[in-house]
Structure 1
Amino acid sequence: MEKQHIDATFCENCQSEILVNNNFCRVCGQAQNLKEVSFHANKKQNLQQIALFFAIEIIVCISALLIENHTIAISLFFDFVMAITAILFFCNNWSENKFILKWPNFSIKKVVGLVVVTVIVSYIVQFLVGHLNRFIFNEDYSFYFTYAFHKYGNYIMVLSVALLPALFEELAYRGFLMQRLLNIVDEKEAIYITSILFFFIHFSMISFFWMLPFGLLLAYVRIKTNTLWYGVIMHFFFNLTACFVEIYDFSNLGF
């Protein structure tokens, strides 16, 4: 009779022979495959945190879209909800995330270069988006109307459109989300996933041609520099340029 082959290994503690499928050693009782168990538990925990975070983001964004007439107060309310969400999720894993708030190898030349490129690209994007809106939808869309008639409208718009998204979208997507993904996928996959989710959360198909590449660039810069701050600066100046373009175009309408 042919002898049946049984796969076996050795206990991590006492080196006694045990079956590979056994979770405990029959001699000393030591639990086996602790690293594998820990990895799967960690993966599940990270996926749960990612799912919860993105579910909240979706709910907040859809809620904002359902409101037809946005006032400054409503816009700021949703801005602060998103900001608080980003802070809570980021700080929930503070010991693991805090290192990306440092700024190793700070370079003023790199900052200036990134700002110049970002401003130029943003202006080109605003120009193309304006023409696409007129060509496809036959209308001139401007987010500045929400702020235009307020005494401090320009400053509030810069806060709501440029500063808060630059800080808290980076904290959320290139901070919390990127760190969670890096625990379960490689860097390239983390860059792609965060960028796709960043694009998706804006609910604007017409922005596909620039939002996704911009997200990819921000994620790439975050990985290569090991800090959020270059991305924050790029994000801020990209949106700030859009604000200035809107203000300039609005003033030319004679208001």
Structure 2
Amino acid sequence: MDKENLSFKLCQNCQQEILLSNRFCNHCGKSQLEIDKQVHENKWLSLQQVALFFTIEVLCCASSFLIEENNLFTLYFLDAVMAISAIAFFGYSWIENKIILKWPNFSFLKLTWLIIATILTSVVVTFLVNHLNRDLLHKDLSYYSIFEFHKYGRYLMFASMALYPAIFEELAYRGYLMQKLLTVVDEKEAVYISSVLFFIIHFSFLSIFWLFPFALFLGYLRIKTKTIWYGVFVHFFFNLTACFLDLYPLEDLYKMIF
């Protein structure tokens, strides 16, 4: 029979080409039905783990809105729970996850340009968000308000609003979550799904115009560079710029300079 008229597939055990109709691999001898069943079970387990992880994330984020009076203790307690959750889930699948903690083909020039572009983007986004809040919600959004009573309020704000998300949100969403999704869907779908989930946990529909594209970019960066570290730096400098502009608004900086 002409080989061109036959349909082939790859054995999921040894990755050798076999006939689509074969129940056993003629190279390694593995049963294709057993392998397909195991693959299906592994995918279902990955989805269950993703669901459990995301449920914990949603409960923590929702709790901050349900608590009538937020304070630093509440903020750091919920941050700690989410950080521990991210580390625990990431560590549970350490063998498959540890590879993204490496930094292959590190480029200082690429990192520098990414940081510059991130800072400029954050300035524009902060300007637009402030105007939307004033025009639509008739209020000023301030990150510093919850920290200002503390002696080291500014440092605490930078740690909570810039450093913490850069490390633990990237570890959680572009790290653990995306690695799990890649065992179930392709790269493009993993980027979109992780970005949607990342947007949801922020509970801010008004932020969709920048937060969802930002998550998509971080996801793309993670897939393209095969590491979370570029995303960590981008996330950190984006939030750091927003915190700095919260302390020193653009209008005040303009008056100081001119």
1:166 Cα deviation after fit:
0.5
Q: Percent identity?
A: 54
**Counterpart of 2:36?**
36
- The Cα of 1:65 is off from its aligned counterpart by 1.1
Verify: 1:128 aligned to 2:140, yes or no. no
Tell me the matched-pair count: 229
Whole-angstrom CA distance in 1 between matches of 2:241 and 2:89: 29
- In structure 2, the residue matched to 1:219 is 219
Q: Which amino acid counterpart does residue 182 of structure 1 have in structure 2?
A: L
Q: For 1:214 and 1:228, locate their aligned partners in 2 and report how far apart those are by CA, in whole Å.
A: 15
Q: Quick one: which amino acid aligns to residue 162 of structure 1?
A: A
Which residue of the partner structure matches residue 154 of structure 2? Answer: 154
Superposed, 1:183-194 pairs within 5 Å as 183-194=183-194
How has the CA–CA distance of structure 1 residues 143 and 41 changed in structure 2, closer, same or farther, with 3 Å as cutoff?
same
Q: Give TM-score scaled by structure 2 length.
A: 0.85
Q: Which amino acid counterpart does residue 82 of structure 1 have in structure 2? A: M
Task: Give the superposition deviation at 1:76.
Answer: 1.2
Higher mean alpha-carbon deviation, 48-57 vs 71-80, is at: 71-80
For 1:136-175, what aligned pairs fall within 5 Å after superposition?
136-175=136-175
Q: Which residue of 1 aligns with 2:24?
A: 12
Counterparts of residues 107-126 of structure 1 (less than 5 Å): 107-126=107-126
Structure 2 Cα separation of the partners of residues 201 and 58 of structure 1: 6
**Alignment-derived partner of residue 81 in structure 1:** 81
Deviation at 1:31? 6.3
TM-aligned CA deviation for residue 69 of structure 1? 2.0
Question: Residue by residue, what CA displacement relative to the aligned partner does 1:148-183 show, whole Å, maximum 9, x if unpaired?
Answer: 121100000011000011000000000000000000
User: Counterparts of 1:185 and 1:31 in 2: how far apart (Å)?
Assistant: 23
Q: In structure 2, how many angstroms separate the alpha carbons of the residues matched to 1:32 and 1:160?
A: 50
Distance across 2 between alignment mates of 1:239 and 1:226 = 23
CA distance in 1, matches of 2:150, 2:121: 29
Residue type at the aligned position of 2:143: F
C-alpha distance in 1 between matches for 2:213 and 2:61: 21
Following superposition, the deviation at residue 117 of structure 1 comes to 0.4
What is the aligned-residue RMSD (CA, Å)? 1.9
Q: Which residue of 1 is the match for residue 47 of structure 2?
A: 47
1-structure distance, mates of 2:142, 2:217: 26
In 1, Cα distance between equivalents of 2:70 and 2:205: 21
Can you list the C-alpha shifts for 1:12-58, whole angstroms capped at 9, x where unaligned? 389xxxxxxxxxxxxxxx96611111111111110110110011111
In structure 1, the partner of 2:176 is 176
Shift of 1:11: 5.8
Q: Is the 8 A contact 2:23 2:33 kept in 1?
A: no
Q: Which residue is 1:60 aligned to? A: 60
> Match for residue 199 of structure 1?
199
Residue 246 of structure 2 is matched in structure 1 by 246
Change (3 A) 1:183 1:32: closer
Could you list the runs of 4 or more consecutive aligned residues of structure 1 that deviate by over 2 angstroms after TM superposition?
9-14, 249-252
Distance 1:250 1:113 in 2: 23
Does the CA contact (< 8 Å) of 2:72 and 2:146 recur in 1? yes
Distance 1:251 1:151, change over 3 A: farther
Structure 2 gaps, min length 5: 1-20, 253-258
How far does the alpha carbon of each residue in 1:178-204 deviate from its partner, in whole angstroms, 9 at most, with x for none? 000000100000000000100011000
Q: Which runs of 5+ in 1 are unaligned?
A: 1-8, 15-29
SS of residue paired to 2:157 = helix
